[in-house]
Amino acid sequence: MQLNGFHDRVALVTGGARGIGRAIAERLRDLGARVAVGDLRAPQIDGVLGLELDVTSEPGVEAAFARVESELGPPSILVLNAGIFVIEPFEETTLESWRRTIDVNLTGAFLCARRALPAMREAGYGRIVAIGSSAGKTGGAKAVAAYGASKAGVMALAKAIASEYAPHGITSNALAPSLIDTDMISSMPDMADKVPVGRLGTVDDVADTVAFLCSAHAGYITGEVVDVNGGFLID
Ligand code: NDP
């Protein structure tokens, strides 16, 4: 199926310098959207506006959105992808480390969504996709309590936005991927054997799903958490 609904749309992808976010940004660009990507270091991606953005900084979020608005227009597609993954036993998790994970993975998504929604509401159209995780359902593999809690939070955030903004033409969904082959899981070797489909996920598996949810074809899907996990967690 040729996905439609990207012409004249502006998209912002957070944490898109590499990995899943980069693949999403390239896919949205190839589908015809005008795409900006924010990351800690401004990404350089062909045909994409690269911005320096720390999603945990309220003024930083404001500055990045202001630049997207002046160079491309207000985003009607927002992909909340920036995230960090810290493996540490629960009793060794310091308050600082806990807060950092919650700040990046959850509060960063809140700040970006809150900044994006007024223009979407005014336009009567918007697509938000938050990248959660199967860890947000299960608590994750051992020793990722902060990560699991942050991902449960961001998936609930996507649902909360969905119910509040559905009357305004805005859909809000989350993904619950697991074991996608990026730098993030390089510390966990030999995981492919644990996936029923017999391989790790690819960044394109995730980008395909995000593209569909951001397309014109997904206007009746909101408040959903979509598993992208090769059968790793069937619930
Ligand atoms: P990567 O670590 O490859 O990419 C994450 C990106 O987020 C990096 O470019 C990183 O920048 C950026 N980032 C980190 N902190 C911030 C911040 N404060 N502000 C802006 N950008 C930031 O991870 P993936 O591509 O694998 O993951 C992308 C998303 O998918 C994450 O939310 C992750 O939790 C989620 N996910 C991934 C899974 C997997 O198996 N890979 C499974 C389930 C969910 P820098 O490089 O400078 O640190």
Structure-block tokens of residue 97: 């480390």
Catalytic annotation, residues:
147
Q: What is the pLDDT of residue 30?
A: 98
**Is 128 within the bounds of a domain?**
yes
Average pLDDT over residues 86-103: 98
**Is 68 within the bounds of a domain?**
yes
Can you tell me whether residue 52 is helix, strand or coil? strand
Average pLDDT over residues 77-105: 98
Find tokens 């506006």 and name the residue. 49
> Is ligand 1 within 6 A of the CB of residue 43?
no
* Spacing, Cα 17 to ligand 1 middle (Å): 9
Q: What is the pLDDT of residue 190?
A: 85
Tell me which H or E stretch contains 110.
Answer: helix 108-123
What residue's CA is closest to ligand 1, atom 10? 15
Q: What is the pLDDT of residue 56?
A: 99
**Is 4 within the bounds of a domain?**
no
**Is 5 within the bounds of a domain?**
no
CA distance 177 to 200: 11
Structure-block tokens of residue 190: 């030999």
**Is 1 within the bounds of a domain?**
no
**How many domains in the chain?**
1
Within a 13 Å sphere around the CA of 35, how many CA atoms are in the beta-carbon half?
28
Structure-block tokens of residue 100: 């950092």
**Domain of residue 109, residue span:** 10-228
Q: Tens digits of per-residue pLDDT, 109-138? A: 999 999 999 999 999 999 999 999 999 999
- Are the CB atoms for 185 and 191 separated by under 8 Å? yes
Q: What is the pLDDT of residue 94?
A: 98
| Ligand 1 atom nearest residue 20's Cα | 25
> Is ligand 1 within 6 A of the CB of residue 107?
no
Q: What is the pLDDT of residue 185?
A: 87
Q: Tens digits of per-residue pLDDT, 150-209? A: 999 999 999 999 999 999 999 999 999 999 999 998 888 888 999 999 999 999 999 999
Structure-block tokens of residue 128: 């938000």
**Is 233 within the bounds of a domain?**
no
**Is 97 within the bounds of a domain?**
yes
**Is 85 within the bounds of a domain?**
yes
Q: Residue 1: pLDDT above 90?
A: no
- Among 27, 48, 85, 227, which is best to mutate for testing ligand 1, by the most ligand atoms less than 8 A from CB? 85
CATH number, domain containing residue 196: 3.40.50.720
Q: What is the pLDDT of residue 188?
A: 83
